[in-house]
Chains A and B, each alone.
Chain A
Amino acid sequence: MKNRAGEITSAIWLVVGFGFLYLPIVTLITLSFNESPLVTTWTGFSFKWYGALIRDVPIIEGFVLSIKIALLTATASVVLGTFAAVAITRFKRFPGRTLLTGMVNSPLVMPEVIIGLSLLLMLVSVQRATGYPDRGMLTIWLGHTLLGMAYATVVISSRLQEMNPQLEEAGLDLGAQPWQVFFLITLPLISQSLMSAWLLTFTLSLDDVVLSAFLSGPGSTTLPITIFSRARLGLNPTVNAVATLTVLVVSVGVVIASVWLARAEKRRAREMAAAFRITT
């Protein structure tokens, strides 16, 4: 009897919780089809705000720039994150280990205004001394990569930790060089986590406002900066249309990627089990 009550409470809590998480997203999508420029007063169904997007130069330019930065950020973050994750999980003792883990983990929680301000002020000092770099795509990319690397390291190192240590040890025992073990054994085994870290940092970069605002220069306005400056002024139907497209593309991408990754994971687990059965 008690159990039944518990199940009902559980179901209600989950439904309400998920409702809370999804209510704004559903609203955003529904109202993007509202004909009225007042956004929240429904006057009729229309695709006109999507049509308006095509002629909206700041949105289009911001989108192109954001995609470029996100591609660069995701790639750099995964490379740096792999280095950091291997260093943290595989080398137990080295001078500066605490410093490295501290610097990798802090950006996860550090308020972005602090990261953005300090990185910008340093870049300005460097620029005054050497004439380089100008604020723009490169500086935004640096900031995003700092943040993305922290997330990538978390994702990759958790995978490295749960990996079966015997596989790497066997490789070393059989005479492979550490770098051969890494490229032939470790890397294929953590490839799914590299993929999810790439996707995560890609979406992070695509979404970032604060770092971009600090680090952008004239002529390098990313999509989130444009959206943010419109959203600050009030409700804006074009923002809803952009939002709907973003949510759709990201959700479809993430769902497909996770299903694919889960399948690959299962297949690998099966192969691994089979391999161990043969050897024993």
Chain B
Amino acid sequence: MWQGILESFMGHVGRRFVISVPMVFLLLVFAMPFLVVFKISISEVDGVRFVDLLTWVDGVLKLQLKFTNYRVIFFEDDLYLRAYLSSLGFAGITTGICLAIGYPFAYFLARSRPEIRPGLLMLLMLPFWTSFLLRVYAWKMLLADNGVFNNVAIALGVLAEPVKMMNTPFSLTLGMVYTYLPFMVLPLYANLVKMDIRLLEAARDLGASPWQAFWRITVPLSRGGIIAGALLVFIPCVGEFVIPELLGGPQTLMIGRVLWDEFFSNNDWPMASSVAVVMVLLIILPLALFNKFQAESTQGGRR
């Protein structure tokens, strides 16, 4: 009997342990930092130190909150609002293009002959593994004024003089679509490859054209993949920094770069924190949707 009690106690402790290790780690390095950022975004800076929000001096409890940064973001300097809007715009356009290219891509991949499918999947995964930074850099060589595209077009006589492609909204969108395309294709593929072909056959037997069967059966059934892919592209795109920095040039406004400059060039940590807080608020809804979605797909708990 004692052994039984001991065992159930050990089992209980073991379970606690398994849950608390990742929990504590994530609370410390993921949740806590957000609170710190929020605190710093409303802190007064005294030289190099942040003044405590709550101070107790001579029997007076003082709560000091500084909202100047938020006032600047929302009312005084329209750079921030323009940057947020433009980031949302670029992220939205990128998501749309990724879906338009990625859906047929995933569809044809899922319907390709089973014997070549593992090879094709490997081809799709490989760029995803190799350095993202280097692949973005590679577009610089292709798109530059004296880059590969312009050189080839001029050599072939298609163009008389180089077309400016680098440092434009075009090059930025292209770079983001290129980088995030696999994130769209993979969840779509995983969804489409599992789809029951007999449903489509049934639709055909009942007189639907292939086009009708596609729009009324395949697309609705792949809704999960579409949502997952769209969120995997949209959310990180809003705060993207490396791609706009390498391909976007000075005119394309992205909030990730604004944050970076506040932090690294202006050394204004409270301002950078405020920019981050507003950015989190901006993506909190899609993020919640993504979390809900991921939780559902891992809802395989059995005990």
Contacts and interface: CB of A to CB of B under 8 A. Distances in A.
Count class of interface residues, chain A: 35 or more
B135 A24 contact: yes
Nearest to B132: A207
A40 B181 CA distance: 26
A14 interface: yes
Interface stretch (A85-93, A187-195, A271-279): A85-93
B89 interface: no
Secondary structure at the A interface, as helix, strand, loop or mixed, is: helix
A18 to B, nearest CB: 6
Interface in A113-131: 113-115, 117-119, 121-122, 125, 128
Contacts of B132: 207
A57 interface: no
Given A24-B138, A40-B146, A114 B18 contact: no
Interface in A237-276: 239, 242-243, 246-247, 250-251, 254-255, 258, 262
Interface in A1-31: 2, 6, 9-11, 13-14, 17-18, 20-25, 27-28, 31
Contact of A114 (B36, B129, B239): B239
Interface in A188-239: 199-200, 203, 206-207, 209-210, 213-214, 224, 227-228, 231-232, 234-235, 239
A88 B303 CA distance: 11
B263 interface: yes
A108 B132 CA distance: 15
Nearest to A31: B141
Interface in B111-129: 111-112, 118, 120, 122-127, 129
B14 to A, nearest CB: 6
Interface string B84-112: 00000000000000000100110011011
Interface of B: 7, 10-11, 14-15, 18-19, 21-23, 25-27, 29-34, 36-37, 40, 49, 101, 104-105, 108-109, 111-112, 118, 120, 122-127, 129-135, 137-142, 144, 146-148, 151, 178, 181-182, 210, 231-232, 235-236, 238-242, 245-246, 256, 259-260, 263-264, 269, 272-273, 276, 279-280, 283, 287, 290-291, 294-295, 298, 300-303
